[in-house]
């Protein structure tokens, strides 16, 4: 047994070690290209990113600034997730045309639906501009001055660096301020909705299955990019024409198996892989548990109401999903960090680094970083905790408090900028509030308030508690506020905001709800926020030096990748199952059979369209079934992804599309802080399931015809 383990460590570990990381596509030559080929890739780094010829990167735009999409036809057809296109699908939906419930398909281009404000951004080229950005910075004395100078340099360079008139320059920092890269981009603003399956397919499993493997969601939607007659970006016009891409992905129907090479290109938003152990310890033991407790309480209350009352379910479904998404992620993350012993791994890494610093004679520059981190994280602890409680309780999860906080900011605007600014902002606020109150139910929020204010009063650091929250009876306070405050209805709010600035502010301050929010916010804004910012700035500066030390003192072969920052990255690995718990093994592919197993007629998470059940019963899968006649639905692999990678193309060894990324497995959500190839997996919809839905379920042959399909060779 011992021998076997040793063998495993010796042979499996180095192989696994080639996985993980989100790499910059223009910097793959060398180590990454060698690893990718070793894992089975058949194409070259130049095929993925090239400035001279078309390459894969030309088919991968950032979708609406938050998700990823990929071009899958010569006519600018793009694929992304259902949850990424959700708002647009929703905005076209009415009671008569409920596209969220029933799906939407354009059978002709004229039927495609324009979307105000939706945009996609392509990358034209990437260049290193570090020396330009850091010019004149080193000689400055304070961190604040340095940051200011860097921001000035970036602003100037964005304006002056060469680009075409229809392009943009965007400079982003990598490795916490140790490298700056310029992205020259093209943004298209005429993007039309082409197709979306019913939510019972596109959101199948909803919150229960969110972050979960085995998964059975057909999380995709289709859009099309339109350009002007010169194929350049243009605002919406009926005269625009379908965009001709420099590259589009052929779609492979050949199928996948465990251990196949895969890679994912996309725009991961934010990771923190190089946090020191002190920070990770705080996240695991204090910050995540605090945030989870608050959301747990809020979600339980809302769920109770939603299950009993259909109108409330409709009002709260989308809010609930968004709060539940990160609640569930943090629980998985915390468990995963503990189980993988990320803390000890970080501590050992730090000890080794300290030794290297001493060996290299770099004590003067780096010798004290870890000590400073330790002190600084100890000092920031209470402030960070207070900040999270404030954010979660006041700004995010108790609606009446979040409304009050918006008004509090309005009063601040009056104090700092005067009547005119106040009125502008007030008018905007009234419009925003109309939308917020539409989905507000005072009975639900009173119960949320009662739970959350109690957590705030008993769990958040005592020294930042206003007198209004000392020794409270939460039930009494809740009923008092909800009986007396005008913030409990839109009409009440409008009454409060009616009049000139002076009288509005007077009325606000007499309102019990507002007065409570103000007392909490005053303490936060005066005693927590500035100190937090000050120490956070120190941590940012330390992190930059720490990262510099890591880059400088690690061996050439070390796999050091920059944290995600919403720029284009590539990650690669293998299709692979995992072991989530003792005696449990998950295989890497799910099938339509599993969708049917989960089917609960009439349920709001697990219902299915009749047509899909019929297609299953008759096994009418056409050319999309696998070689055993089964319909694949989703699969997992060791690609290192995060929020923002939703909608990313999953590609095979030849750069053909085999799937669409949309999630990660729950046990591996810690990958934002510590990636472990043993348990971190990304989840993708199989391209064959997407085509089956488009073709067989929706009958949108027009769309399949414009794609390039790669069929399995007949034996
Ligand atoms: N967990 C996925 C990602 O973070 C999907 C979220 C959308 N789905 C949902 N049921 N809320 O964002
Ligand atoms: N579901 C995430 C997204 O929307 C992807 C992830 O966090 O893995 O980007």
pLDDT tens-digit profile of 274-329?
A: 999 999 999 999 999 999 999 999 999 999 999 898 889 888 988 999 999 999 99
Per-residue confidence (pLDDT) for residue 6, from 0 to 100 = 47
Rounded CA separation 18/14 (Å): 7
Residue numbers annotated as active site: 83, 219, 646
Residue 562, domain member (yes or no): no
Q: Do residues 139 and 101 both lie within one domain? A: no
**Residues 428-442: tens digit of each pLDDT:** 999 999 999 999 999
| Residue pair 650/660 in contact by the 8 Å Cβ criterion | yes
User: What would the mean pLDDT of 506-533 be, rounded to a whole number?
Assistant: 98
The residue from 135, 154, 188 where one domain ends is 188
The CA-based dihedral angle spanning residues 387, 392, 398, 404, taken in that order and rounded to the nearest 10 degrees: 30
Mean pLDDT of the chain: 96
pLDDT at 16 over 70: no
User: What would the mean pLDDT of 245-255 be, rounded to a whole number?
Assistant: 98
Residue 627, domain member (yes or no): yes
Edge-to-edge order in the sheet of strand 168-174: 67-68, 62-63, 120-128, 179-188, 168-174
Rounded CA separation 426/422 (Å): 6
Per-residue confidence (pLDDT) for residue 536, from 0 to 100 = 95
CA 277 / ligand 1 centre spacing (Å): 28
Rounded CA separation 292/184 (Å): 40
The residue from 520, 552, 584 where one domain ends is 552
Of residues 715 and 648, more confidently modeled:
648
DSSP string, 388-452: HHIIIIIIII-HHHHHHHHHHHHHHHHHHH-HHHHHHHHHHHHHHHHHHHHT--HHHHHHHHHHH
| Ligand 2 pocket, residue 645 CB under 6 Å | yes
Residue 24, domain member (yes or no): no
| Ligand 1 pocket, residue 219 CB under 6 Å | no
pLDDT at 11 over 90: no
Tracing tokens 């990113």 back to the chain, one arrives at 49
Residue 706, domain member (yes or no): yes
CA 648 / ligand 2 centre spacing (Å): 10
Question: CA angle, 198 as apex, 197 and 204 as ends, to 5°?
Answer: 100
Question: CA angle, 146 as apex, 141 and 151 as ends, to 5°?
Answer: 160
| Ligand 1 pocket, residue 321 CB under 6 Å | yes
Question: CA angle, 287 as apex, 281 and 292 as ends, to 5°?
Answer: 125
The residue from 188, 207, 230 where one domain ends is 188
Residue 33, domain member (yes or no): no
Per-residue confidence (pLDDT) for residue 142, from 0 to 100 = 86
Which residues are CB-contacts of 359 (< 8 A; sequence separation ≥ 6)? Answer: none
Q: Do residues 313 and 339 both lie within one domain? A: yes
Per-residue confidence (pLDDT) for residue 1, from 0 to 100 = 45
Q: Do residues 339 and 482 both lie within one domain? A: yes
Q: Do residues 80 and 229 both lie within one domain? A: yes
Q: Residue 283: which region, alpha, beta or left (left: phi > 0; alpha: psi -120 to 50)? A: alpha
**Percent of the chain, pLDDT > 90?**
93
pLDDT at 17 over 80: no
pLDDT at 3 over 60: no
Return the best residue to mutate from 66, 326, 641, 669 for the ligand 2 pocket (most ligand atoms within 8 A of CB).
641
Question: CA angle, 68 as apex, 66 and 69 as ends, to 5°?
Answer: 135
**Residues 651-674: tens digit of each pLDDT:** 999 999 999 999 999 999 999 999
- Retrieve residue 373's tokens: 């981190």
| Ligand 2 pocket, residue 646 CB under 6 Å | yes
Residue closest by Cα to atom 1 of ligand 2: 663
Q: Do residues 261 and 326 both lie within one domain? A: no
| Ligand 2 pocket, residue 149 CB under 6 Å | no
Q: Do residues 637 and 512 both lie within one domain? A: no
Residue 536, domain member (yes or no): yes
| Residue pair 504/338 in contact by the 8 Å Cβ criterion | no
Of residues 557 and 495, more confidently modeled:
495
Q: Do residues 160 and 95 both lie within one domain? A: no
Residue 653, domain member (yes or no): yes
- Alpha helix (H) ranges present in 271-309? 277-282, 288-308
Q: Residue 583: which region, alpha, beta or left (left: phi > 0; alpha: psi -120 to 50)? A: left
Q: Which of 73, 282, 313 is nearest to 194 (CA)?
A: 73
Per-residue confidence (pLDDT) for residue 12, from 0 to 100 = 46
Query: Residue 168 is part of which domain span?
Result: 121-188
| Residue pair 280/346 in contact by the 8 Å Cβ criterion | yes
Residue closest by Cα to atom 4 of ligand 2: 646
| Ligand 1 pocket, residue 83 CB under 6 Å | yes
pLDDT at 7 over 50: no
Per-residue confidence (pLDDT) for residue 15, from 0 to 100 = 53
pLDDT at 2 over 60: no
pLDDT at 119 over 70: yes
Q: Do residues 309 and 369 both lie within one domain? A: yes
Q: Do residues 600 and 499 both lie within one domain? A: no
Q: Do residues 146 and 77 both lie within one domain? A: no
What ligand has the least distance to the C-alpha of 217? 1
**Residues 89-108: tens digit of each pLDDT:** 988 988 889 999 999 999 99
E strand spans, 644-711: 649-651, 657-664, 682-686, 709-710
Atom of ligand 2 nearest to the CA of 66: 9
What's the Cα-to-Cα distance from 355 to each of 5, 300, 367, 554, rounded to whole Å? 29, 49, 10, 12
pTM here is: 0.94
Return the best residue to mutate from 63, 64, 205, 210 for the ligand 1 pocket (most ligand atoms within 8 A of CB).
210
Per-residue confidence (pLDDT) for residue 57, from 0 to 100 = 98
Q: With cut-offs at 50, 70 and 90, classify the pLDDT of residue 443.
A: very high
What's the Cα-to-Cα distance from 511 to each of 418, 488, 521, 576, rounded to whole Å? 22, 11, 15, 58
Q: With cut-offs at 50, 70 and 90, classify the pLDDT of residue 715.
A: low
Return the best residue to mutate from 22, 267, 328, 662 for the ligand 2 pocket (most ligand atoms within 8 A of CB).
662
| Residue pair 640/665 in contact by the 8 Å Cβ criterion | no
Q: What is the domain count for the chain?
A: 3
pLDDT at 222 over 50: yes
Atom of ligand 2 nearest to the CA of 644: 9
**Residues 173-198: tens digit of each pLDDT:** 999 999 999 999 999 999 999 999 99
- Chain Cα centroid distance, residue 232: 29
**Residues 139-159: tens digit of each pLDDT:** 999 888 999 999 999 999 999
Residue closest by Cα to atom 4 of ligand 1: 643
Residue 46, domain member (yes or no): no
Rounded CA separation 221/85 (Å): 6
User: What would the mean pLDDT of 590-618 be, rounded to a whole number?
Assistant: 97
- Retrieve residue 450's tokens: 């009662």
| Ligand 2 pocket, residue 642 CB under 6 Å | yes
Atom of ligand 1 nearest to the CA of 83: 7
- Chain Cα centroid distance, residue 36: 26
| Ligand 2 pocket, residue 206 CB under 6 Å | no
CA 268 / ligand 2 centre spacing (Å): 8
DSSP lists the bridge partners of residue 704 as: none
**Percent of the chain, pLDDT > 70?**
97
Q: Which of 315, 298, 297 is nearest to 306 (CA)?
A: 315
Provide the CB-side half-sphere exposure for 79 (13 A, CA). 33
- Retrieve residue 175's tokens: 């490795």
Estimate the crossing angle of helix 342-359 against helix 529-553, to 10 degrees.
60
Q: Do residues 72 and 220 both lie within one domain? A: yes
Q: Do residues 127 and 197 both lie within one domain? A: no
Per-residue confidence (pLDDT) for residue 96, from 0 to 100 = 86
């Amino acid at each position: 047994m011992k021998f076997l383990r040793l063998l495993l460590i010796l042979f499996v570990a180095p192989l696994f070690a080639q996985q993980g990381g989100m790499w910059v596509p223009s910097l793959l030559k060398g180590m990454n290209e060698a690893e990718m080929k070793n894992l089975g890739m058949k194409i070259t780094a130049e095929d993925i990113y090239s400035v001279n010829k078309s390459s894969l990167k030309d088919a991968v735009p950032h979708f609406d600034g938050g998700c990823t999409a990929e071009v899958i036809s010569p006519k600018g057809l793009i694929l992304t997730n259902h949850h990424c296109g959700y708002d647009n699908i929703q905005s076209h939906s009415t009671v008569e045309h409920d596209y969220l419930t029933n799906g939407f398909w354009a059978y002709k281009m004229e039927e495609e639906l324009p979307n105000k404000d939706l945009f996609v951004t392509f990358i034209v080229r990437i260049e290193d501009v570090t020396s330009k950005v850091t010019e004149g910075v080193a000689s400055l004395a304070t961190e604040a001055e340095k940051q200011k100078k860097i921001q000035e340099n970036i602003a100037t360079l964005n304006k002056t660096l060469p680009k075409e008139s229809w392009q943009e320059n965007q400079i982003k920092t990598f490795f916490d301020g140790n490298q700056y890269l310029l992205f020259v981009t093209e943004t298209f603003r005429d993007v039309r909705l082409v197709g979306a399956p019913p939510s019972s397919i596109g959101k199948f499993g909803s919150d229960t299955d969110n972050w979960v493997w085995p998964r059975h969601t057909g999380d995709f939607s289709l859009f099309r990019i339109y350009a002007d007659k010169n194929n350049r970006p243009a605002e919406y016009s009926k005269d625009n024409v379908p965009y001709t891409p420099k590259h589009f992905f052929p779609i492979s129907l050949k199928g996948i198996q465990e251990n196949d090479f895969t890679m994912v290109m996309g725009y991961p938003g934010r990771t923190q892989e190089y946090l020191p152990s002190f920070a990770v310890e705080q996240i695991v033991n204090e910050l995540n548990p605090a945030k989870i407790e608050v959301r747990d309480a809020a979600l339980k209350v809302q769920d109770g109401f939603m299950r009993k009352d259909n109108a409330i379910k409709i009002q709260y479904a989308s809010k609930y999903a968004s709060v539940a998404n990160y609640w569930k992620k943090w629980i998985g993350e915390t468990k995963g960090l503990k189980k993988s012993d990320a803390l000890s791994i970080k501590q050992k890494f730090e000890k080794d680094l300290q030794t290297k610093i001493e060996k290299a004679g770099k004590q003067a520059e780096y010798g004290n970083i870890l000590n400073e981190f330790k002190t600084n994280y100890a000092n920031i602890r209470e402030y960070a905790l207070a900040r999270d409680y404030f954010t979660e309780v006041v700004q995010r999860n108790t609606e009446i408090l979040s409304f009050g906080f918006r008004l509090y900011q309005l009063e601040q605007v009056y104090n700092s900028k005067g009547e005119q600014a106040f009125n502008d902002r007030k008018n905007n606020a009234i419009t925003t509030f109309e939308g917020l109150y539409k989905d507000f139910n005072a009975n639900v929020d009173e119960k949320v308030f009662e739970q959350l204010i109690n957590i705030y009063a008993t769990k958040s650091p005592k020294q930042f508690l206003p007198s209004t929250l000392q020794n409270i009876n939460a039930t009494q306070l809740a009923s008092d506020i909800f009986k007396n405050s005008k913030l409990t209805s839109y009409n009440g709010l409008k009454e409060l905001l009616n009049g000139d600035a002076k009288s509005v502010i007077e009325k606000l301050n007499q309102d019990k709800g507002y007065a409570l929010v103000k007392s909490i916010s005053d303490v936060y804004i005066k005693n927590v926020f500035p100190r937090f910012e000050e120490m956070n700035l120190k941590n940012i500066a330390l992190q930059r030096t720490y990262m510099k030390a890591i880059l400088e003192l690690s061996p050439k072969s070390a796999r050091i990748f920059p944290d995600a920052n919403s720029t284009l990255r590539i990650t690669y690995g293998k299709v692979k199952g995992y072991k989530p718990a003792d005696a449990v093994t998950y295989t890497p592919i799910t099938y339509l059979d599993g969708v049917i197993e989960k089917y609960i007629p009439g349920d709001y998470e697990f219902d299915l369209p009749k047509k899909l059940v019929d297609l299953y019963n008759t096994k009418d899968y056409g050319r999309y079934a696998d070689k055993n006649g089964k319909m694949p639905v989703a699969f997992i692999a060791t690609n290192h992804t995060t929020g923002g990678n939703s909608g990313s193309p999953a590609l095979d060894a030849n750069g053909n599309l085999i799937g669409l990324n949309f999630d990660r497995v729950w046990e591996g959500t810690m990958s934002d802080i510590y990636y472990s190839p043993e348990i971190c997996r990304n989840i993708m919809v199989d391209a064959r399931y997407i085509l089956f839905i488009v073709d067989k379920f929706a009958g949108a042959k027009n769309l399949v015809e414009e794609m390039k399909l790669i069929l399995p060779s007949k034996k």
